[in-house]
Chain A
Amino acid sequence: MSSASAVVPPIKSPPIQSDRAASVVTEGRIVRWLLIGVAIVFLALFLVLPLVTVFVQAFAKGWAAYLAAFTEADARSAVRLTLITAAIAVPFNLVFGVAAAWAIAKFEFRGKNLLVTLIDLPFSVSPVVSGLIYVLVFGAQGLLGPWLIAQDVQIIFAIPGIVLATIFVTFPFVARQLIPLMQEQGTAEEEAALTLGASGWHAFRTVTLPNIRWGLLYSVLLCNARAMGEFGAVSVVSGHIRGLTNTLPLHVEILYNEYNFVAAFAVASLLAGLALVTLVVKSLLEWRYADDIAAGARRH
């Protein structure tokens, strides 16, 4: 099927290949180490160094200055808003992702490829455009804006707008992780369970869910990291009201623009820490449950 998604990094069993230097199917020792060197230097320079920079700058003036960044009322309200946003956006996308994956992976219908492409679309839409479209719909000059104003409902420049923009940018994450997983597992097991008299919901819970759980967990983590870290889209719909509509990434920008670099990087380090936790959990899952994941993938 069409769905070996790279839109979100798939959870996978670690690629372990027996590989002996003497084998005819590998490169010479020098070439190998050269390539390893290139790969490591490249990754260190492009990925690791920026990450390290965040922490170095955050602790540039010691622990006290670092912690001071979080005692400010604006910082705390940014943390709170970020948590609220993720607490709504992630479960929303979880439910959508499972439903969409069920419909797409377990059934054959026309226009499936188009549907999958449309689910992918938010991924390739510029974050700025993601914010813009909600301004066009809900803004005072937008399609629904005047009506909403009459009803006294504030969507953009308030929590609903921020949540909507966040849902949009993290929209494909769960669905795209689950679709290939569910497809590979086929439908035989569910069919068997149903034949034995299980209800659809029961079959999903006892048969499907255990098969996709690691992918599900990881996609939720990734979705969460992205939801908490989105900048461009949220920036367009936030309005930057201090203590009210600033999420953590926006707070980073504000601190940065107030010459408070230590605090900016301190808050950034919180988000970077979240990213690290996400990666560590992923690696742990892959490592600890390698057999499980591989078995799930091979089941059909």
Chain B
Amino acid sequence: MAEPPLRPRRRFRQPSVIPGFGLTFGYALTVLSLIVLLPLAALVLRASKLGFSGIWEVATDPRVASALKVSFGVSLLAALTASVFGFIVAWVLTRYTFPGRKIVDAVVDLPFALPTAVAGIALAALYAPNGLVGEQLAKLGIEAAYTPLGIFIAMVFIGLPFAVRTVQPLIVEIDKEIEEASATLGAGRLHTLVHVVLPPLIPAVLTGFALAFARGVGEYGSIIFIAGNLPYVSEIAPLLIVIKLSEYDYGGACAIATIMLGISFLTLLAINLIQAWSRRRFGYV
């Protein structure tokens, strides 16, 4: 899709014969403000009562810092895993034909539609030491449920569709003639993949990674059932918010929430920047 021609932007909106801008824009902005922006502002307001130093104090409290580290660290690993396997899945789904491909394609969206609490109890039942998978892992001496590994599994679960669905449409769009040209010029398949096919896909992979990461950091429902919730080991930041609330420590809860909100916003911004960069570099998103 082409960027609309750049015209000098003197006014807020460029003229158009299509009606309804005022109505739809006004409505959308009002709803956005009431439902999303004002409540989020209330959060930031509550946290700002602590002052910057207060928020910093909360963030550097060892237990909070450790929970943030767990949330962000495990989420990074999970998003990385989801990206690698998501890429393989996307590649397989677009490039190869095999029986049941459509079903596999449909399955990818499952974590979008499956409630997180349902995923949580199912994963806990599977990966507990007496569960189907947990039992096998226990034989290998691996504890999955109630450890950071459990958090990782839940985060991969919810992050996978993002990794697949951002890359998939771009693999479809790859012009095979370029690959053919590369092959004709004597490049091996691996060389073609690494030097010709992969580079234009990188922004999409990064976007998928960032989305999976953002979802993983905030995830709560599926994780609390399978994480051990041990301070300094397997306690995630959203759970700590809930714990702070149970201690009537609204300021602390809001401080952690604001930190997470800031990082989410930065992640989304990064995604937008990646896409803008990729538009310039490759001409599409």
Contacts and interface: CB of A to CB of B under 8 A. Distances in A.
Interface of A: 1-2, 4, 6-10, 12, 14-15, 17, 19, 24-28, 32, 35-36, 38-40, 42-43, 45-51, 53-54, 57, 96, 98-100, 102-104, 106-110, 113, 115, 117-129, 132-137, 141-143, 164, 167-168, 171, 175, 183-184, 187, 190-191, 194-195, 200, 203-204, 222, 225-226, 228-232, 235-236, 248-250, 252-253, 256, 264-265, 268, 271-272, 274-276, 278-280, 282-283, 287, 300
Given A9-B109, A99-B23, A275-B114, 8 more contacts: A6-B208, A47-B160, A104-B28, A121-B36, A124-B211, A137-B39, A250-B117, A252-B117
Interface string B84-100: 01001101111111100
Interface stretch (B55-63, B227-235, B266-274): B266-274
Most central of B3, B28, B260, B285 by chain A CB within 10 Å = B28
Given A24-B183, A126-B219, A128-B238, A119 B272 contact: no
A246 B13 CA distance: 45
Contacts of A194: 17-19
Contact of B257 (A57, A121, A126): A126
B264 A125 contact: yes
Contacts of A280: 106
Given A46-B156, A109-B13, A35 B161 contact: no
B77 to A, nearest CB: 14
The secondary-structure label for the interface of chain A is helix
A249 B237 CA distance: 21
A7 B110 CA distance: 14
Given A2-B275, A8-B112, A168 B36 contact: yes
Contacts of B9: 110
Given A53-B132, A99-B24, A106-B16, A141 B250 contact: yes
B138 interface: no
Interface in B243-269: 245, 250, 253-254, 257, 260-261, 264-265, 267-269
Given A15-B172, A32-B96, A109-B14, A229 B115 contact: yes
Interface in B201-227: 207-208, 211, 214-215, 217-221
Contact of A128 (B171, B220, B275): B220
B102 A14 contact: yes
A6 B218 CA distance: 17
A134 B218 CA distance: 17
Contact of B168 (A2, A15, A100, A117): A15
Interface residues of B, number: 117
B115 A124 contact: no
A168 B37 CA distance: 10
27 contacts: A12-B169, A15-B169, A19-B96, A38-B88, A40-B104, A57-B125, A96-B28, A103-B24, A108-B16, A109-B12, A127-B221, A128-B218, A129-B238, A132-B43, A133-B43, A141-B250, A142-B42, A229-B114, A229-B115, A229-B117, A231-B115, A231-B116, A232-B220, A235-B221, A248-B115, A282-B106, A283-B102
Contact of B122 (A51, A171, A195): A51
Contacts of A47: 107-108, 110-111, 157, 160
A268 B118 contact: yes
Interface in B126-152: 126, 132-133
Contacts of A225: 112-113, 115
Contact of A124 (B97, B189, B250, B264): B264
A164 B113 CA distance: 20
Contact of B106 (A15, A120, A200, A279): A279
B194 interface: no
A35 B183 contact: no
Given A9-B112, A39-B93, A232-B220, A113 B272 contact: yes
Contacts of B36: 118-119, 121-122, 168, 171
Contact of A136 (B20, B91, B98, B254): B254
B1 A1 contact: yes
B67 interface: no
Contacts of A127: 116, 218-221, 238
A176 B220 CA distance: 23
A84 B13 CA distance: 39
A81 to B, nearest CB: 14
Nearest to B119: A50
B162 A6 contact: yes
B4 interface: yes
A268 B221 CA distance: 13
B183 A129 contact: no
B123 interface: yes
Contacts of B107: 43, 47-48, 279
